[in-house]
Amino acid sequence: MASISSLMSQTSSYESFVTQLVNIESQKMLRMEVQVRDEKESKSAIGTVSKAISDFENIIKELETPTNRSFEPFKTTSSDDSVVQVNSASGLDNESAFNITVERLAKNDTALSETMTGAGYELAAQGDGSVTLTIGDKTETINVVTTKDDGSGGTVDKTNQEILESFETEIESLFGEEASASVFNLDGENIQFSLKSLDTGFDNRIQFSGATGVLAGVTGNMTHLTPQAELDAQFIIDGVTFNRAENTVDDAIEGLSFTLKKATGVAEQMTVERDTEAAKSNLQDFINAYNEMNETIRERTFINPETGNKGPLQGVRSVRNLSINLRQTAILSLGGVAEGEVASFADMGITFENNGKMVIDDSSKLDDILSQNPEQIANFFTNENSPVAMMKARAESYTEADGILSAIESGLDQKIDRLDRRIASERKYLEEYEAEQRRIFNELDLILEEGQAQFDAVYNFMSGY
C-alpha cells in the first residue's frame, strides 16, 4: 500500500517537472550505459574472433602432424566385406593389394558339463571338491562344498543345481573379467553347466587341473564346443599362413589393420590406394577455416562510409590488420625446394579473391599434385619455415594466454568495471537528486497553499463589507 507522502508526490502538480528534471540529469548515466553495452558487444566480438582463429590454428595442427598423413591418405577396400573388413592403412607408404583366404575365425572356448536333473543329489554324493582353473594368464583354485545348513544346527546335501550354482558364483567372483559361467535350465527339470572364456584364442582357453571331489566329477566330463587347437584364427596372405588369437589383426602386415568376419576358404583381395578426394577434403577444411576466420574478422571490423555503421571492433586496429597480415604471409613462397615443386599456395592452384577469400582457382592443377606428388603439399604444410607455419605463429600470438586478444579483453573488462562503478555512483546521485527536487516542489506546494489560504481569508473578510 502506498504511503500518504508517496500519494501526495504522485498527485503533485509538479511531478511531471520532477520527472523531466531527473531525465535531463540522467543523460550522463544513460551515455555511460550505452558505453557499457558497446564495450560488452566488443568483448563478445573478441570471443567470436578468438574462436575462429583457434579453429584455424587447430586445422593447421592436424594437417602438419606427420602421422595423420593428411595429404597422403589411403583408402582401403575389400572384395567382400562380409569375409574380411579393412579397418585402416595409416601406416602404409605405398599402394598395395593383398590376397587373403580366411580358413578359420578365432573363437571363445566354451566348455559344457553333462546334463543332469537339477533336483537330484548325484553330485553331493561325490563330496566337497576343488579344482585349479587357468584362463589366459590367470590361475585360481576354486572350492565348493556339497552341504548346507538345515536350519536346526545340522547339514543337508545340496541339490545338483545348488552345487553348480555355487561353482558358478565362485568362478564369477574370481574370473569376472576372464570368463562367464552359467547354469542353464533346459526343460524345467534338467540342467547343464556352461563356462565360456571372454577372450578368443588358444592362449585364453579353459584349463582345469588338480580336480577333487565333486569338481572332479563336474569338470572331468566337460566337453568343448570347439577343439582347443582350433581356437585361433587362421588365414593365408599371399601364400603365407598366419594364426592369431583375435579376429582383428594389425600385426600381419605392417601399417594395415583388418578384421576377419567369415571363414570361407575362398581367396579375397584387400586393396590399398591413394585417396585424393580425402586429401583434397583436408585441404578444403583448411581453406574453409581460413575463410571463416577472415569473414568473422571482416564482419566485426567493417565500416560503411555512407551510413557510418561499423562493427564492434572497427576501432581495434590489431584485429582489423590480422586478416591483411595473414593474407600477405600466405602469398609468400617456401624456400629451399627444387624448381617445379610446390613452394606456394599458387603452385597448388589456390589464390585469393579481392575480399580476402581463399579459393581453389585451378582444380586440375591441385588434383594432379595430390595424385602424383602429395608429399610436396605435405612438406609445404609441415616445414617449419613455410608460409603455413608463419600463419600459425601469427594466429597463436593472438590466442595464447597472454596474447593480443587476451590483452584487449582485459582492457575491455577494466573499462566495463570502471563504467559500472561510475553508473552505480551516478544512480545513487540521481536518487538523491530526485528526492531533493521533490522536496523543493513540495515546499513550493505548501507555500502556494498557505498563500492561497491567506488570500482566501482576506477575500472573505473583504467580501463581508
Is the pLDDT at 23 greater than 70? The verdict is yes
The CATH fold assigned to 1-73+275-465 is: f41 fragment of flagellin, N-terminal domain (1.20.1330)
What proportion of the chain, given as a percentage, has pLDDT over 70?
A: 97
What mean pLDDT do residues 12-16 have?
70
Is the pLDDT at 73 greater than 50? The verdict is yes
pLDDT at res. 13: 62
Residue, of 435 and 110, whose pLDDT is higher: 110
Question: What is the per-residue pLDDT across 150-207, written as a single tens digit (0 to 9) for each?
Answer: 888 889 999 999 999 999 999 999 999 999 999 999 999 999 999 999 999 999 999 9
pLDDT at res. 457: 79
pLDDT at res. 438: 81
Q: Which of 9, 4, 3 is nearest to 444 (CA)?
A: 9
What mean pLDDT do residues 372-377 have?
92
What mean pLDDT do residues 106-124 have?
97
pLDDT at res. 355: 87
Contact 100, 183 (CB under 8 A): no
Confidence of residue 76 (pLDDT cuts 50, 70, 90): very high
How high does pLDDT run on average in the chain? 91
pLDDT at res. 9: 46
Alpha carbons 82 and 410: distance in angstroms, whole number = 59
C-alpha cell at 304: 560503411
Confidence of residue 12 (pLDDT cuts 50, 70, 90): low
pLDDT at res. 452: 80
Q: Which residue has the cell 584349463?
A: 207
Is the pLDDT at 314 greater than 70? The verdict is yes
pLDDT at res. 6: 45
Is the pLDDT at 338 greater than 50? The verdict is yes
Confidence of residue 394 (pLDDT cuts 50, 70, 90): very high
pLDDT at res. 3: 37
Is the pLDDT at 230 greater than 60? The verdict is yes
Residue, of 430 and 219, whose pLDDT is higher: 219
What mean pLDDT do residues 250-271 have?
96
